[in-house]
Amino acid sequence: MQRLTSKLKGNKLAQIILLVLYVLVTSLSLYLAQASVTAFLLLLVSLLLLYYTELPDRLKWVIAGVVLVGVIPFVASTGPSYQSYMEVATVVGIYVAMALGLNIVVGLAGLLDLGFVAFFAIGAYTYGIFATAQAANFMPFGVFPLSGDSFWIFILIGCFVAALFGVLLGIPVLRVKGDYLAIVTLGFGEIIRIVFNNLDKPVNITNGAMGLASVKPPEIFGFQFVYPNQFYFIVLAILLFVILAVRRFEFSKIGRSWKAVRENEIAAQSMGIHLVRTKLLAFAIGASFSGMMGVVFAAKQTFVDPTSFTLLESITILVMVILGGMGSVPGVILGAAVITILNLQVLTEVTNYLNQLSLNGVISFPEALSPAKMQRFIFGAILIIFAIYRPQGLIPAKNPVFDEESLKEGSENHRKKQIKVESDKGFQA
C-alpha cells in the first residue's frame, strides 16, 4: 500500500486515470444497480479523492464541476430513488453553505456562536412570508403571494436581511467573550425562534406555530422549480459563490484581521485593527450565507415553521465545523457532507436494515435498544471517535505558503523605493 502511494505521488497522469476509472466504476454501478446507496456514496467520495490529487487547482474545479453538474444527476436519474438522492445532495449543499458561514464566525474569527440557525430561520421566513398570502395580513399595499419569479431577488434580500440581523445581534452580544458569548448567542438563537413562534398576534406576521404553508416555488420564464433534482442546481450555484467568497475572504486583509482577533485581541487592537467592526463583519458575512440558504430551504420545503430551527440544528452545524476542522474550508465542506449523509442516509439505512433483521426474527432487540432509538447513540459514538483520533478535524486548517523567491525580488524593489524616497528628501533639504 505504501509503495503504491509513493508511486502515485508526483505521477499526475496516473492520478487522473485512477480518478476517472473510479468515477466510471462507481457511476456505472449506480447506473446499473439502481437504488444502491453505497454506489451513490462512493461516487460522492470521488470528490474527496479529487481533493487529494496533485492536479492544478483550476483542473480540479473543472473536474468537480463535471462530476457535480453532469455525472451525478445523470447516472442517478435512471433509478427509482433519483429524487431521494437529489434530495440528499441538495440538503448536503444547504448545510455545507451554512457550515461555511459558521466557519467564518467560529473558525476564523474565533467567536463561539451557538445560535447560528437563527439566521437560517430569518432567511426562510423572509421568503416564506412574502411568497405566501401571509404578507397580506400586515402589508398595506401589494398583492401577495408574490410570484415565484421574485425568488431570485429574495436570495439577495435574504442575504442582506440575515446580514443585518447578524450586525444587530452582534452589537449587544459582542460585549462578552468566550463562554459567555456562547451562552448569549444560544439565548439569541432561541429568542428568534420563540419570536417567530409567537408573532401571530397582535399582528399576524409569521402565523405562529401553524407555520407558513404552500410557499410559492421558484419560477423562471414560466419554468417552475418543484423537484429536488431542480433545486439541486440552484443550491449548487449558490454554493459555488459561497465557496469562492469564503476562499477570497480567508486569504485577504479581512480574513487576516479575523485570525488576528482570534489569536490575540489585545495585540490585534494595538496593530490598529478595529475590534468591533472586525467581529461584526464576521457575524454579518457568516449570517448572510445562512440567510441565502434559508430562502432556498423555504422554497424547497414549501413550508416554514419554527420547529425547523431548534437549538439542535445550531449544534449540528457547529459539529460539522468542528468535525471537519475549524477554519479549514475543505474540512468544513467534508464535515458538513459527512454529517448530513450520516443522518439522512447511512444511519437510516442501518436502522432499516436492523429493523428488517429483527422483523425476520434473525436477531431480537429489547425494547429499550430498538434500532430507531440507537440512531442518535451511533451518531454520538462516531463523533466521540473522531474527537479522539482527529482532534484537529478531518482536514485540519492549513496556512498559506508564500513563495520566498518572488518576495525576495519584490522586497528588493521595496528597499530601492525606500532609499529613493529618502534621497529625494535629502535633495529637497
Partner 1 sequence: MSILTVSNIKKQFGGLVAVNSVDMTVEKGSITAVIGPNGAGKTTFFNLITGVYQPDEGNVQLGSSSLVGLKPHEISRLGIARTFQNIRLFSNITVLENVMVGLHKQLKAGIVGTLFQTKKVREEELRAQEEAYHWLEYVGLAQHLNEEAQNLSYGAQRRLEIARALASKPRLLLLDEPAAGMNPRETRELTEFIHRMRDDLNVTIVLIEHDMKLVMEISEHIIVLDHGEKIAEGKPAEIRNNVKVIEAYLGKSAVTPA
> Smaller CB distance to partner 1: residue 364 or 413?
413
What is the closest distance, in whole angstroms, from the C-beta atom of residue 322 to partner 1 in the complex?
A: 16
> Smaller CB distance to partner 1: residue 168 or 245?
245
Terminal CA-to-CA distance of the chain, rounded, Å?
72
Instruction: Please state, in angstroms and rounded to a whole number, the distance separating the CA atoms of residues 190 and 168.
Output: 16
What is the closest distance, in whole angstroms, from the C-beta atom of residue 12 to partner 1 in the complex?
A: 24
Show the beta-strand stretches assigned E in 173-251.
212-213, 219-220, 223-224
> Smaller CB distance to partner 1: residue 177 or 274?
274
Site string for partner 1, 70-99 (x = CB under 8 A): ------------------------------
Instruction: Please state, in angstroms and rounded to a whole number, the distance separating the CA atoms of residues 77 and 71.
Output: 10
Closest listed residue to residue 278, CA positions, set 299, 264, 298: 264
What is the closest distance, in whole angstroms, from the C-beta atom of residue 102 to partner 1 in the complex?
A: 19
What is the closest distance, in whole angstroms, from the C-beta atom of residue 355 to partner 1 in the complex?
A: 46
DSSP conformational letter for 310: -
Instruction: Please state, in angstroms and rounded to a whole number, the distance separating the CA atoms of residues 292 and 222.
Output: 22
What is the closest distance, in whole angstroms, from the C-beta atom of residue 315 to partner 1 in the complex?
A: 25
> Smaller CB distance to partner 1: residue 79 or 107?
107
> Smaller CB distance to partner 1: residue 90 or 288?
288
> Smaller CB distance to partner 1: residue 107 or 211?
107
What is the closest distance, in whole angstroms, from the C-beta atom of residue 399 to partner 1 in the complex?
A: 5
What is the closest distance, in whole angstroms, from the C-beta atom of residue 293 to partner 1 in the complex?
A: 18
Residue in the block written with cell 430498538: 370
Instruction: Please state, in angstroms and rounded to a whole number, the distance separating the CA atoms of residues 256 and 360.
Output: 59
Binding residues for partner 1, total number by CB under 8 A: 36
> Smaller CB distance to partner 1: residue 55 or 275?
275
What is the closest distance, in whole angstroms, from the C-beta atom of residue 242 to partner 1 in the complex?
A: 11
Q: Which of residues 394-423 bind partner 1 (CB under 8 A)?
A: 399-402, 404, 407-408, 410-411, 413-415
- Helix, strand or coil, per DSSP, at residue 384: helix
> Smaller CB distance to partner 1: residue 186 or 260?
260
- Helix, strand or coil, per DSSP, at residue 145: coil
Grid cell, residue 296, equals 432556498
Q: Which of residues 247-286 bind partner 1 (CB under 8 A)?
A: 248-249, 252-254, 256-257, 259-260, 263-264, 266-275, 281, 285
Spell out the residues 6+ positions from residue 45 whose beta carbon is closer than 8 angstroms to its own.
26
What is the closest distance, in whole angstroms, from the C-beta atom of residue 252 to partner 1 in the complex?
A: 4
By CB under 8 A, tell whether 366 contacts partner 1.
no
DSSP conformational letter for 303: E
> Smaller CB distance to partner 1: residue 149 or 409?
409
Spell out the residues 6+ positions from residue 148 whose beta carbon is closer than 8 angstroms to its own.
131, 216, 217, 218, 219, 224, 225
Sign of CA dihedral 206, 208, 214, 218: positive
> Smaller CB distance to partner 1: residue 255 or 306?
255
Site string for partner 1, 207-246 (x = CB under 8 A): --------------------------------------x-
- Helix, strand or coil, per DSSP, at residue 327: coil
What is the closest distance, in whole angstroms, from the C-beta atom of residue 390 to partner 1 in the complex?
A: 17
DSSP conformational letter for 251: T
**Reduced to 3 DSSP states, what percent helix, strand and coil does the chain have, rounded to the nearest 5?**
75, 0, 25
Q: Which of residues 104-163 bind partner 1 (CB under 8 A)?
A: none
Burial 154-190 (b: 16+ CB within 10 A, else e): bbebbbebbbebbeebbeebbeeeeeebbebbbebbb
Residues that bind partner 1 (CB under 8 A): 245, 248-249, 252-254, 256-257, 259-260, 263-264, 266-275, 281, 285, 399-402, 404, 407-408, 410-411, 413-415
